[in-house]
Amino acid sequence: MHANAVIVAAGKGERLGTRVPKPFLPVAELPLLVHTLRSLDRARLLSSLVVVVAPEREALCRELLNAHGPFRSAIRLTHGGPQRQDSVRLGLAALDAECDIVVIHDAARPFISPDVIHASIRVASQAGAALVAVPAADTLKRVEQVDDETPLSTESSLISPVRTVVETLSRQDVWLAQTPQTFRVPLIRAAHQRALDEAIQVTDDAALIEKFGGTVQIVPGERRNFKITTPDDLRMAEALLSAHASER
């Protein structure tokens, strides 16, 4: 078995509201992407890491890799596209020729552990498609928005827009998808090609397999493998990474 990872880092990170895209933001003194690559580098079943970056960030990324290496795995850079799905498809085109399993991971999840990566590789090599996910801890509500998103007053941003509960979902049946999402290479390449041909857009790779009638097996993950999306997430990551650095 020959496994590679594709790390998507070509997003703009607009929800964070920073000028620098998320993967290049310093967190506990190192760019977020470097933390994520170091975590993946600890997974000994991965032989190469393909990092997908926006063309205008390639030079910066090369500098970071030189400054913060060496890495055990071979690292290759390739250019991403306008949507995450495009970036993954372009990353899949840059795998080692002999690669048969691909681990697709978000640059914005620095806390992935080697054990979870290895479990996802084992499951994908047997079942074809493996999705790392965690059970929902909170009770889940389906809601609808009943106003037009105009704040009622400047003090009311916490309660506006107004949403009301439509139904309570059964928590046992709901898991929260993370990355890595790990696949046999021909299966996920064919799914991405079909999505391109049929102009299908989804938010994660496992959704393509589901859509085209395949089976995706769950690999239990860890809550600490959260995706850094908001300024609060960034503060939490900073605290965890700083604590980790001072333990060593």
Enumerate binding residues for ligand C5P (CB under 6 A): 8-11, 22-23, 52, 80-84, 87, 106-108, 227, 229
- The tokens describing 119, both together, are 């479990």
Q: Would you say 177 or 218 has its CB closer to ligand C5P? A: 177
What is the smallest separation between the CB atom of 217 and ligand C5P, expressed in angstroms? Answer: 22
Q: Would you say 82 or 213 has its CB closer to ligand C5P? A: 82
Nearest in space to 105 (alpha carbons), one of 123, 127, 121, 81 = 121
Nearest in space to 80 (alpha carbons), one of 101, 64, 57 = 57
Q: Would you say 3 or 228 has its CB closer to ligand C5P? A: 228
Q: Which residues pair with 56 in a beta bridge?
A: none
Q: For the chain, give percent helix, strand, coil, nearest 5.
A: 40, 25, 35
What amino acid is encoded at 84 in this protein?
R
- The tokens describing 217, both together, are 């097996």
Cα gap 199→217, rounded to integer Å: 25
What is the smallest separation between the CB atom of 199 and ligand C5P, expressed in angstroms? Answer: 16
Q: Which residue is nearest to ligand C5P (CB)?
A: 11
Cα gap 4→7, rounded to integer Å: 10
Nearest in space to 132 (alpha carbons), one of 84, 88, 180, 171 = 180
Contacts of residue 69, Cβ cutoff 8 Å, sequence gap at least 6: none
What is the smallest separation between the CB atom of 20 and ligand C5P, expressed in angstroms? Answer: 12
Q: Would you say 11 or 31 has its CB closer to ligand C5P? A: 11
Q: Would you say 51 or 216 has its CB closer to ligand C5P? A: 51
Q: Would you say 11 or 128 has its CB closer to ligand C5P? A: 11
What is the smallest separation between the CB atom of 93 and ligand C5P, expressed in angstroms? Answer: 14
Q: What are the distances in angstroms from CA 44 to CA 2, 182, 212?
A: 11, 15, 32
What is the smallest separation between the CB atom of 236 and ligand C5P, expressed in angstroms? Answer: 15
Q: Would you say 15 or 223 has its CB closer to ligand C5P? A: 15
- The DSSP call for residue 23 is G
What is the smallest separation between the CB atom of 22 and ligand C5P, expressed in angstroms? Answer: 6
What amino acid is encoded at 73 in this protein?
S
What is the smallest separation between the CB atom of 245 and ligand C5P, expressed in angstroms? Answer: 22
